[in-house]
Amino acid sequence: MKKTGMIAPGATIGMLGGGQLGRMAALAAANLGYKVHVLTPEIDSPAGQVCAVTTIADYTDPAALDAFAAAVDVVTYEFENVPVEAAERLAETVPVRPGAEALRVAQDRLREKEFAANLGIGTAPFRAVGAADELAAAIAAIGAPAVLKTRRMGYDGKGQVKIAADTDPAQAWAAIGGKPAILEGFVTFDMEVSVIVARGTDGKSLCYPPVENRHVNHILDTTIAPAAISPALAAEAEEIARKMAEALDLVGLLAVELFVTRDGRVLMNEIAPRPHNSGHWTMDACVTSQFEQMIRAVCGLPLGSVARHGDAEMKNLIGDQAHDWAAILADPAAKLHLYGKAEARPGRKMGHVNRIIRKG
């Protein structure tokens, strides 16, 4: 019998994925009286370190999935590359929030662009690319500069290559491993922003304000909350997030990354149906953090206030930057969050620091 209805405190939340987003969601769940059971192939995962139960298994292991479903009251996930088939199998027994459709769209860059376009939401110009000759035709249609991205997987700049006017299509195609891809035209933008929208089981939604995201080497470095954009542009960005969440019938969180162009447009770039790096500032600057909001949404509880205590800045700690923890803690205004990862590798997100830069 499939479990339905409000999931009351004391129940067990199933978490697919053992990364830092799962860790912070599990800590928020514990504050609300829930236990978290994480399923991950990773030993000593950041989430596993703080969860009540950890199952070490592959996401495609049917026996592990069935046992996991029987042991939890609702399932969510902390990264969007969970196999859709796993979510569908779990959903036969237990609510999975967000559902498999959100995964299906977010896992494929072409599908998410087409999804946005079908809703009348602006994006960069794009073309599907399945072979080197198709890439040449796509470049001719879109022009250069552009960027070639694998449709699936790849993040923080991985799985993509820039296309210039003199780029050899065959070499570019080989550089991404000859995988199904999407060519996106370059967008001249003033700012990259993101909006996180929470949507409950009752269909009600709340948005955190748009924030500005600044990247270094294709990895998010700093988030500034709120973004310095006009109220009209902020409202448009929030409406895009709400529209996409509603069209997906999403329950949980949806992060929407956007470009604010120099001519005043807001264009959707990518979505993620989970907590997002650009929402970490909410942990110390909002009445309800993105992680608590996620737990409230997937358990069918009323959503919490998104009011903020002030303007804030989040700084990622990448690689060896996490070794500066003593100096960070010496600053009484800094709120340090470390993820429990044993090895600080270049490009690896090890933690973050939040600061309220102006009181509300």
Handedness of CA 152, 153, 159, 163 (dihedral sign): positive
Tell me: is residue 269 an annotated ligand-binding position: yes
Tell me: is residue 157 an annotated ligand-binding position: yes
**Alpha-carbon distance values, 213 to 83, 197, 248, 315 (Å):** 28, 16, 25, 10
Tell me: is residue 20 an annotated ligand-binding position: no
Tell me: is residue 149 an annotated ligand-binding position: yes
Tell me: is residue 353 an annotated ligand-binding position: no
Cα first-last separation, the chain: 48
Tell me: is residue 154 an annotated ligand-binding position: yes
- DSSP letter at 131 equals S
Tell me: is residue 118 an annotated ligand-binding position: no
The answer to whether the beta carbons of residues 289 and 309 sit under 8 Å apart is no
Tell me: is residue 192 an annotated ligand-binding position: yes
The answer to whether the beta carbons of residues 277 and 353 sit under 8 Å apart is no
Pairing of strands 310-318, 219-225: antiparallel
Tell me: is residue 243 an annotated ligand-binding position: no
Q: Which of 151, 149, 158 is nearest to 348 (CA)?
A: 158
Residue type, 290: Q
Tell me: is residue 319 an annotated ligand-binding position: no
Tell me: is residue 257 an annotated ligand-binding position: no
Q: Phi, psi (5° rounding) for residue 353?
A: -125, 130
**Alpha-carbon distance values, 344 to 265, 298, 319, 326, 338 (Å):** 39, 32, 5, 16, 11
Q: How far apart are CA 33 and CA 8, in angstroms?
A: 9
Tell me: is residue 186 an annotated ligand-binding position: yes
Burial zone of 236 (CB within 10 Å; 0-12 exposed, 13-18 middle, 19+ buried): buried
Looking from the CA of 335 toward its CB, the CA atoms found within 13 Å total: 13
Tell me: is residue 335 an annotated ligand-binding position: no
What's the length of the chain?
Answer: 360
Tell me: is residue 187 an annotated ligand-binding position: yes
Rg (CA), the chain: 20
Tell me: is residue 92 an annotated ligand-binding position: no
Enumerate the known binding-site residues.
109, 149, 154-160, 184-187, 192, 215, 269-270
Enumerate the known binding-site residues for ATP.
109, 149, 154-160, 184-187, 192, 215, 269-270
